[in-house]
Homo-oligomer: A and B are copies of this chain.
Amino acid sequence: MTAQPGTAPTVPTAQPAPDLSQAPELSQVPDLSQVPDGELLRLDHQICFSLHAASRAFGSVYRVALKDLGLTYPQYLVMLVLWEHGALPVKQIGDHLRLDSGTLSPLLKRLEAAGLVRRERSSEDERSVTVRLTEAGTALREQALCVPRRIVAATGLPLTDIAALQTLLHRVTAALDTADLDTADLDTTEPDTAEPGSA
């Protein structure tokens, strides 16, 4: 992490809202319409922000763990997909990782330059480019096996919590996924698609 003064306890996200962060099950939730805008804005601050911070915190740890392998975090994700599924066209890699060719093309070029994959145009469909592991790319999997253990250890969380976190992330991603189109047309015309319980 860049700013790690050592003396400063950091984790600023943990400070302002100790009220709800320690309650594992707060069952009665107020109507959204009840919550004043200011509160909601604060809550929002917390959530988007926690996610942002957590994502980058993971990035830091992965960066260290992956340095030995010479991979960045997104490159590691691509390699995971290839190790699991074997040779794939760019499009399908993108489907797995939710990335488009604008991101993947240069990334795959770098993996190719590193000698980990080869890219070859499919003879069946000349539009498609098949990405397959080289021997070095396949061999790298062995070194990568130790990475997850280090990451899980670094989180310091029991697998229970990791699983719970993952569940919530799945839910929220799925929801946002179907929602962002709705939001789009909510933005243009209709005011009533909105949320169920509010004014």
Contact = CB atoms under 8 A, between A and B. Distances in A.
A49 B21 contact: no
A96 B52 contact: no
Interface in A1-46: 1-4, 6-8, 10-14, 20-27, 29-30, 32, 37-38, 40-46
Contact of A11 (B47, B48, B173, B196): B173
A84 B39 CA distance: 12
Chain B CB within 10 Å, residue with most, of A8, A146, A155? A155
Interface residues of A, number: 109
A113 interface: no
Interface stretch (A116-124, A127-135, A182-190): A182-190
A44 to B, nearest CB: 3
B162 A45 contact: no
A177 B10 contact: yes
A167 interface: yes
Contacts of A153: 32, 179, 194-195, 198
B10 A80 contact: no
20 contacts: A1-B181, A4-B195, A11-B170, A12-B95, A12-B98, A24-B167, A32-B159, A37-B148, A41-B147, A44-B148, A44-B151, A45-B77, A48-B77, A50-B173, A57-B176, A58-B176, A67-B187, A154-B175, A155-B175, A155-B179
